[in-house]
Amino acid sequence: MNSRAYRATRVNDVKWDEIATGREGLGIMLGVDVGKLSLWAVCRWADGRFERPWRTDNPMEIPTLVSLIKRMSMGRKLVVAMESSGTYGDSLRQALADSEIKVERVGNKASHDYAEVFDGVPSQHDGKDAAVVAELAALGKSMPWDYRPADAWDEELAYWVEWMVVHRQALTLWQGRLEGLVGRHWPEATQVLKLSSVTLLRALKHYGSPQALAADPQAARQLAHWGGKFLELKKVKQVVENAGSSVGVRAAEWQRRQIQDFAQQALAARAEGQRAERQLRRLAAGHPVLQAQGKVVGVPTACVLWTSTGDPRTFHAAAAYRKAMGLNLVERSSGQYKGRLRISKRGSARSRQWLYFAVLRLIQKSGVRPWYEAKKARNEDDARIAVVAVMRKLAVALYHVGIDNREFKPRRLFGRICKRVGNSTELPSRMKIKRKAADVKA
C-alpha cells in the first residue's frame, strides 16, 4: 500500500456513484473505527480491494453516514463491522438497526494482533483500524451484533447496580479521608470502633472532636442510642473515657467542621448504597437465576454479575461463563521460557472484583476453608493464588446453580487437596488415617 493509502475523505464529499461504477452487485464489508469525536469507515469490496477511509463527525454526521450506507446496500450484500468501543458507537448501531442494516462485531484484541499482519507495519491509527476491522469480518472473524434495547426490568436493575457501586466507592473515598483526620485528632476512637461503624460515623458527624464529646454529659446515652443492641456498653464507656483523655491534636474550628462534613458524606453514601441494595432485592424477588445465585454470594453480588457478565443461560458452558469474567487461564511460553499460568483478565473487571469479595466471605465456611488452606500451603509466597483458585471454582458453580437451580454444596465443589511440603506431597490427616487402616487390613 502506498503512503497515502489511509488519507481520509469527508463523508459529505464521498461520490458513491463514481466509486460504484463497474462494481454493480459486488458485496461490501464496511469496517468502522469508533472514536469519541469521529467515525472512520473503510469500504472493502468482496474481491479484496479497499477504498480510502471516510471520516464522519460523531455524532453530528451519523445520519449522513447511514444515508450513504443505505445507498451502498442497494442491489448488493452489505455488512457493517465495528469494534466494541464502549458507548461511543451505540448511536451508530441504533441508527443502523433502525435502517435494518446488518452489524457485526470484531474483538479489540483480534484487530490489535492483526495490525502488523495486515500491512507489515505494527502501527495503529483510525483509518488502518477501520480497514483491519473490515478485513477480519470478511475473513469470518466477527460475530452478529444486533442492537436490542434493554427491557424495563434490565434497565432498572442496571440503574440500581450502578447506583450501589458508585455510592460504595464514595463511601470508601470518604472513609479514607476520615482515616487520616481521625488518626491525627482522635486516634483512640478507631481502637474501640471501626471507622466503618455507623456509631462512630454518627459521633464524628455530631461532635467532630473528642473534646466536644467529652464535654457532653449525655454522650454515653447518645452513643448507646446510635449503637442500639449492636454496641456493647463496655465499648460505649471506653469511647467516652478515651475522648476525655485523648492525646490527639486538638482540632480547630475548620478542622472540626471538616471531620463533621466528611462523616456526613460517608453516612449519606452508606444510606444510598443500602437503599440500592433494597431495590435490587425487590427486583430479584421471584427471579430464578438471581435468587439461586444470591443464596451463594448474596443478591447484590448476583445482580452485579448479571449486569456485568450477562445471563448465564446464554452461555453454552460453564467454562464460557467463567471466561466472560476474565477468569480463564492463559500461558505465554516460547522456547526455553516457560511462563506461569495466570488469569486472562479480559472479562468484566467489576465481576471479578465483586466475586473476589464474595470468595473472601465464602472461605470462612467449613466446606471451603480446608480446601483453601491446603491450596494456600502449596503457594505460601502468594496467598492470592488460592483466592483466585476459589474464584474460578465458584464461577463454575454459579453457572450451574443459575441455570439448573441446583443447591450449592461446597464439599462437592471443593474436594480434598494434598498439601505440598517442599518437593514432597503431604496428605490431609483424614486420608493418612484411612491409608494406615487400609495397610493394617492388608
- The helix/strand count (H/E) of the chain reads as 20, 13
Provide the percentage of residues in the chain whose pLDDT is more than 70: 92
- What pLDDT score was predicted for residue 410? 83
Q: How far apart are CA 104 and CA 77, in angstroms?
A: 14
- What pLDDT score was predicted for residue 181? 95
- Residue whose grid cell is 484487530: 111
Q: How far apart are CA 389 and CA 393, in angstroms?
A: 6
- What pLDDT score was predicted for residue 432? 47
- The pLDDT tens digits of the residues spanning 195-228 come to 999 999 999 999 999 999 999 999 999 999 999 9
- The pLDDT tens digits of the residues spanning 338-349 come to 788 889 998 889
- What pLDDT score was predicted for residue 122? 84
- Tell me which of 152 and 149 has the higher pLDDT: 152
Provide the percentage of residues in the chain whose pLDDT is more than 90: 72
Identify the bridge partners of residue 425 per DSSP, sorted by sequence position.
Answer: 420
Fold for the domain defined by 9-144: Nucleotidyltransferase; domain 5 (3.30.420)
- What pLDDT score was predicted for residue 416? 61
Neighbours of 421 (CB within 10 A): 10
* Contact (CB, 8 A) for 40 and 127: yes
| Mean pLDDT for the stretch of residues 403-425 | 69
Residue 326 has pLDDT above 50, yes or no: yes
| Mean pLDDT for the stretch of residues 169-177 | 96
- Residue whose grid cell is 450451574: 400
| Main-chain dihedrals φ then ψ at residue 6, nearest 5 degrees | -105, 15
- The pLDDT tens digits of the residues spanning 41-91 come to 999 999 999 999 999 999 999 999 999 999 999 999 999 999 887 789 999
Q: How far apart are CA 284 and CA 303, in angstroms?
A: 8
Domain boundaries, the chain: 9-144, 154-282, 288-426
* Contact (CB, 8 A) for 230 and 238: no
- The pLDDT tens digits of the residues spanning 270-302 come to 999 999 999 999 999 999 999 999 999 999 999
Residue type present at position 52: R
- The pLDDT tens digits of the residues spanning 385-413 come to 899 999 999 999 999 999 988 888 887 88
* Number of alpha carbons in the 13 Å side-chain half-sphere of residue 68: 25
- What pLDDT score was predicted for residue 184? 95
- What pLDDT score was predicted for residue 86? 76
Q: How far apart are CA 222 and CA 99, in angstroms?
A: 65
340 burial via Cβ count (<10 Å: 0-12, 13-18, 19+): exposed
Residue 439 has pLDDT above 70, yes or no: no
Residue 168 has pLDDT above 90, yes or no: yes
Task: Name the average pLDDT for the chain.
Answer: 89
* Contact (CB, 8 A) for 131 and 54: no
Q: Are strands 337-338 and 333-334 parallel, antiparallel or unpaired?
A: antiparallel
What's the predicted TM-score (pTM) here? 0.83
Among left, alpha and beta (phi > 0; psi -120 to 50; other), residue 138 is alpha
- What pLDDT score was predicted for residue 274? 97
Q: How far apart are CA 241 and CA 299, in angstroms?
A: 41
CATH class assigned to 154-282 = mainly alpha
| Mean pLDDT for the stretch of residues 140-148 | 90
